[in-house]
Amino acid sequence: MAFHIVLVEPEIPANTGNIARTCAATGAHLHLVRPLGFQTDDKTLKRAGLDYWHAVHVEYHDSFQELLDANPQGRFFYASTRATKNYADFAYQDGDFLVFGKETKGLPQALIEANLDTCIRIPITGDVRSLNLSNSAAIVLYEALRQKGFPSLR
């Protein structure tokens, strides 16, 4: 079973393309929650994902609730700079959903407040507000894969 990367209303095509490439390299499924800040045929999006789009399992959702309804047994982890728990302190399981918000605002506060027990943060220092979205997704995904012993990766 694969891990799932969920991007809620992503705005920057290059980030989504980079995340798609990470999904192709790891077998993770990519979920894009509308509205998107770009067209999916955008040449920047395709360039960032290079020629790996054919290797990515991508699903589109009109709302985050639609994704939740389609996966009622799913375990969801919500990445946010406002979370208090370290992403590496969780025991991830095959099939988990790793959820990331839009680049300019992150996830909605109400979603974070409703899921405090499964909100995760990547530690950073100094005056930096956050890491790049594609870097954040890769960090959390690779921690989940590390915990599982990097199944089917060479």
In the chain, where the domains are located: 4-147
Residue 78: phi and psi, rounded to 5, are -110, 110
Instruction: Please tell me the distance from the alpha carbon of residue 37 to that of residue 10, in angstroms, as a whole number.
Output: 6
Instruction: Please tell me the distance from the alpha carbon of residue 115 to that of residue 101, in angstroms, as a whole number.
Output: 14
Residues with pLDDT less than 50, the chain? none
Q: What pLDDT does 153 receive? A: 81
Residue type, 125: T
Terminal Cα distance for the chain, rounded: 17
3-class secondary-structure state, position 98: strand
Q: What pLDDT does 54 receive? A: 83
> What tokens were used for 2?
């694969």
**Domain 4-147 in CATH: superfamily?**
SPOUT methyltransferase, trefoil knot domain (3.40.1280.10)
Instruction: Please tell me the distance from the alpha carbon of residue 46 to that of residue 49, in angstroms, as a whole number.
Output: 5
